[in-house]
């Protein structure tokens, strides 16, 4: 297998040699300094990841259209190639050759920059996802041309934080696209989008913290190693964080039922209304790429990544297969959600994010932490759990009481909240009051 890169005589490759172990410390590939072979393998990994994502997006769009047509009793794309599999390619070529319009009232520089701001983070996140490797005995090392390495582009020490950082950078793409178009509807969409994405990032981060509590490391490779073979975080964290993460990720991706950003009925098209041709294609690409990457992140965090019983004779193949099986599960889930659920309203979206997901994930984190500490200190675990739940319930009750008394103090003549049923019994004064609030509601 050894291709003989060393025989070329490049032992340590110039200035990169000092960089290797420091910047990419965790990958065993760089332990002996960086030579030409290491650079070649890294480049190879980058190209494979890039190609995988592009082809993956092409197939996913086809898969999504086919699946949704099946769920809606239609045929879907069927003409281009076998089963219409080349439909996306045809669409891409069509978009490529369309006229590129830049609106007169736009901000040209930012308008051109925005698509790349959403595309580049989408690519970068996939770099930290381990897509294979043997985690049954070892720590996921595979041997490429006699060099030990991980099957992921990079394993930086901040690992999973890169995902959060990139998803917060991706907000800029959407936000600036809407603003720079110089048009009202895209601006409204981008304000909605950025508020939505920033809100759900909190829930995303908090549910991710439970995983960090279990694995004790930020490195994605470590997180996957800790879950070997059946110690998946899904049950180690008692399911709830994965559900929260899945919901928050759907909102972060602006996918249905959280696709208020692209509400055609209200906003013409969404933040990309003014975009055409290749720039529009880039947004589209970024969106689907993010869906794939987010599925990959969920698999890595909660389903053990490439972990699974070895069922092939080739060592590394089974890991890759397990990873793709799990990945497809989540890609299918996202498409399924789109076909099933209607879009939710904006106030429901904010209520769900701030009042349900964030408190639940925060409480769950505390619960897991108390359980772990009880184990460390030798306390009675069930008792500790019960006490923690009681304390949290007490605090939540206090908060509810405070909010209720605040409402009562504010509205002395109208103690009950206007619900659907009580609305007809309200006198004219209160109706006027509610009408007045309608303007202030947003």
Partner 1 sequence: METAVFIVCAVIVLAGSLGVVLARNPVHAALSLVGTLFGVAVLFLNLEAHFLAAVQIIVYAGAIVVLFLFVIMLLGVDRLEDISIEPILGQRVLATFVGLAGFGLGAAYIATSVEGATISTSSLLRVPASNLHHIAEVLFTDYVYAFEATAALLTISVVGAVVMTRRAGRNRVTQTTAGED
Selected binder of partner 1 within 64, 201, 226, 252 (CB under 8 A): 201
Least Å distance, CB 336 to partner 1, is 27
By CB under 8 A, is residue 434 in contact with partner 1?
A: yes
Least Å distance, CB 20 to partner 1, is 10
Contact set for partner 1, span 80-109 (CB under 8 A): 107, 109
Judged by DSSP in three states, 149 sits in: strand
By CB under 8 A, is residue 157 in contact with partner 1?
A: yes
DSSP code for 143: E
Distance (Å, rounded) from C-alpha 35 to C-alpha 95?
42
Distance (Å, rounded) from C-alpha 103 to C-alpha 351?
36
Least Å distance, CB 425 to partner 1, is 12
Peptide bond into 359 cis (omega under 30): no
Q: Which stretch binds partner 1 (CB under 8 A): 249-257, 265-273, 275-283, 430-438?
A: 430-438
Contact set for partner 1, span 259-318 (CB under 8 A): none
Selected binder of partner 1 within 5, 126, 179, 232 (CB under 8 A): 179
Selected binder of partner 1 within 43, 52, 101, 158 (CB under 8 A): 158
Q: Which stretch binds partner 1 (CB under 8 A): 47-55, 168-176, 233-241, 385-393?
A: 168-176
Token readout for 237 is 């964290």
CA-based Rg of the chain, rounded to a whole angstrom?
25
By CB under 8 A, is residue 171 in contact with partner 1?
A: yes
By CB under 8 A, is residue 43 in contact with partner 1?
A: no
User: Cβ closer to partner 1: 53 or 176?
Assistant: 176
Per-position DSSP letters for 24-67, written without gaps between them: TTT-GGGTT---HHHHHHHHHHHHHHHHHHHHHHHHHHHHHHHH
Cβ neighbourhood burial of 437 (10 Å; 0-12, 13-18, 19+):
exposed
Q: Judge contact between 303 and 230, C-beta under 8 A.
A: no
Q: Which stretch binds partner 1 (CB under 8 A): 175-183, 298-306, 359-367, 374-382?
A: 175-183
Q: Judge contact between 281 and 100, C-beta under 8 A.
A: no
Q: Judge contact between 108 and 182, C-beta under 8 A.
A: no
Quickly count: other Cβ atoms within 10 Å of residue 105's Cβ. Answer: 9
Q: Which stretch binds partner 1 (CB under 8 A): 87-95, 326-334, 358-366, 428-436?
A: 428-436
Quickly count: other Cβ atoms within 10 Å of residue 19's Cβ. Answer: 13
β-strand 141-144 against 147-150: which pairing, if any? antiparallel
- Per-residue contact string for residues 329-358; x = within reach of partner 1 by CB under 8 A: ----------------x-x-----------
Selected binder of partner 1 within 103, 269, 359, 418 (CB under 8 A): 418
Distance (Å, rounded) from C-alpha 357 to C-alpha 258?
14
Residues that bind partner 1 (CB under 8 A): 15-16, 18-19, 22-23, 25-26, 107, 109-110, 156-158, 161-162, 164-165, 168-169, 171-172, 175-176, 179, 187, 190-191, 194-195, 198, 201, 218-219, 345, 347, 406, 410-411, 414, 417-420, 423, 431, 433-438, 440-441
């Amino acid at each position: 297998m050894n291709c003989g890169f060393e025989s070329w005589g490049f032992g340590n490759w110039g200035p990169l040699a000092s960089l290797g172990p420091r910047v990419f410390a965790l990958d065993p590939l760089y332990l002996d300094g960086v030579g030409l072979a290491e650079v070649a393998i890294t480049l190879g990994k980058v190209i494979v990841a890039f190609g995988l994502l592009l082809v993956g997006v092409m197939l996913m769009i086809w898969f999504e259209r086919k699946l949704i047509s099946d769920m809606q009793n239609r045929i879907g794309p069927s003409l281009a190639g076998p089963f219409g599999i080349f439909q996306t390619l045809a669409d891409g070529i069509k978009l490529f050759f369309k006229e590129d319009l830049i609106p007169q009232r736009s901000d040209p520089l930012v308008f051109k920059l925005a698509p790349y701001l959403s595309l580049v983070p989408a690519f970068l996140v996939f770099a930290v996802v381990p897509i294979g490797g043997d985690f049954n005995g070892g720590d996921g090392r595979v041997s490429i041309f006699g060099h030990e390495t991980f099957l992921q582009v990079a394993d930086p020490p901040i690992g999973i934080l890169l995902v959060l950082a990139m998803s917060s950078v991706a907000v800029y793409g959407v936000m600036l696209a809407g603003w720079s178009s110089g048009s009202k509807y895209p601006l409204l969409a981008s304000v909605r989008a950025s508020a939505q994405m920033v809100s759900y990032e909190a829930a995303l981060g908090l549910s991710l913290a439970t995983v960090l509590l279990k694995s004790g490391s930020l490195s994605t490779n470590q997180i996957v190693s800790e879950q070997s073979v059946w110690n998946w975080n899904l049950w180690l964290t008692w399911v709830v964080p994965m559900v929260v993460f899945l919901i928050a990720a759907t909102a972060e991706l602006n996918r249905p039922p959280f696709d208020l950003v692209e509400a055609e009925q209200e906003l013409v098209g969404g933040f990309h209304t003014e975009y055409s041709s290749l720039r529009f294609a880039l947004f589209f690409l970024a969106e689907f790429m993010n869906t794939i990457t987010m599925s990959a992140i969920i698999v890595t965090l909660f389903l053990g990544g490439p972990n699974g019983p070895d069922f092939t004779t080739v060592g590394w193949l089974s890991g890759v297969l397990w990873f793709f099986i799990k990945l497809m599960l989540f890609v299918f889930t996202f498409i399924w959600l789109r076909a099933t659920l209607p879009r939710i309203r904006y106030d429901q979206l904010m209520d769900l994010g701030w009042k349900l997901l964030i408190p639940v994930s925060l409480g769950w984190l505390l619960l897991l932490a108390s359980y772990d500490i009880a184990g460390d200190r030798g306390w009675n675990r069930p008792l500790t759990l019960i006490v923690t739940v009681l304390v949290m319930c007490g605090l939540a009750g206090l908060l509810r009481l405070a909010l209720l008394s605040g409402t009562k103090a504010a509205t002395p003549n109208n103690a009950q909240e206007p619900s659907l049923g009580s609305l007809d019994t309200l006198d004219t004064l209160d109706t006027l009051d509610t009408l007045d609030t309608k303007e202030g509601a947003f």
